[in-house]
Amino acid sequence: MQQILQKLGLSAKEARAFLELVKLGASPISTWAKNTGINRSSMYVLLDRLKSQKLIATFTHQGVLHAQAVPMAELPALVADQQEELNTTRELLLKHLPDLQLLEKTHGLTPKVTFYEGETRIESMYKHVLSEKSFKSFFHPGRIKTYMSEYFYKIPEAIKTNGGKARELLVSCPEALEYHNLYNSKNHEIVILPPSINFSSDTIITDEKIFMVGYNDKAIVGTEIWNRELAHTQTSIFDLVWQIRV
């Protein structure tokens, strides 16, 4: 139960205190603090936090402040309210995103290195890749088809639709042959490397950026480096490998 509450945004300490109050029922703050093992000053900070989450209510009885947990039957409705609030926030963010991005560019706040973790954040990174007119990449199609299958097709389809250009060196695997047969063209040149050549992450290189992505069963992580000199160095390495293999 504590893990469920932590997924709602509570810390381990807050979740433990809330569950203790559920067991106690309506109680003076001092009694709640004693049973939870938290000193009273810290308990009042925690109380304010749980009230802001709408998980507890307070009232005064005979001049003593009491706390009471919301009925457990109300928790699903609270989760639904949180989800609705998140959806509203997301819609507002998407609506004003162009203005925020303009502000970012105007004041030169674009970071030189950005880290991405998790599938949703990696999808955000790939959107940056798709905004580029051309790129070169060292790419393991089997890995991306396993962990982010949508982008096995989405990136090459975007190249075709947007009139972009790409060169890709693929790790040899069954998915590499499928990818080559589907997408190799004049604007999207694809070479499958010999089976003896392998690498544990993907690298995408543009004129000014390097995108690196690592996949495994536990995590998907990416790094975006915005540096023209480093991008040019990686491009030179790619071109050297390309010349040897073509």
Distance CA 40, CA 45 (A): 9
Tokens 């309210």 map to which residue? 81
Question: In this predicted structure, what is the pLDDT of residue 106?
Answer: 55
Parts of the chain belonging to CATH 1.10.10.10: 2-70
Return d(Cα 75, Cα 53) in angstroms, integer.
11
pLDDT band at 108 (very low <50, low <70, confident <90, very high): low
Task: Give me the pLDDT at residue 87, please.
Answer: 84
* Dist. CA 128–CA 61, nearest whole Å: 58
Whether the CB-CB separation of 183 and 160 falls below 8 Å is answered with yes
Flag the least confident range among 44-58, 76-90, 142-156, 216-230: 76-90
Mean pLDDT of all residues in 80-97:
83
**Where along the chain do the CATH 3.30.870.10 domains lie?**
108-245
Instruction: Say if residue 246's pLDDT is above 70.
Output: no
Q: Is the pLDDT of residue 36 over 80?
A: yes
DSSP 68: E
Q: How high does pLDDT run on average in the chain?
A: 87
- Which residues are paired to 115 by β-bridges? 223
Q: What is the pLDDT, as a whole number, of residue 190? A: 95
CATH, domain range 108-245: 3.30.870.10
Mean pLDDT of 53-63: 88
pLDDT of residue 44: 87
136 or 149: which leads in pLDDT? 136
8 A C-beta contact, residue 142 and residue 149: no
pTM flag (> 0.85) = no
When pLDDT is cut at 50, 70 and 90, the band that residue 223 belongs to is very high
- Between vectors from CA 181 to CA 178 and to CA 183, what angle results, nearest 5°? 100
Predicted local distance difference test score (pLDDT) of residue 188: 95
Task: Please give the order of strands across the beta sheet that includes 27-28.
Answer: 27-28, 64-69, 56-61
Q: Tell me if 168 sits within 8 A of 136, measured CB to CB.
A: yes
Average of per-residue pLDDT across 121-144: 91
**What fold does the segment set 2-70 form as a domain?**
Arc Repressor Mutant, subunit A (1.10.10)
Residue 185 CB partners (closer than 8 Å, separation 6+)? 160
Hey, which residues does 28 pair with through a beta bridge? Answer: 66
Task: Say if residue 111's pLDDT is above 60.
Answer: no
Whether pLDDT at 49 is above 90: no
- pLDDT, average across residues 135-156: 91
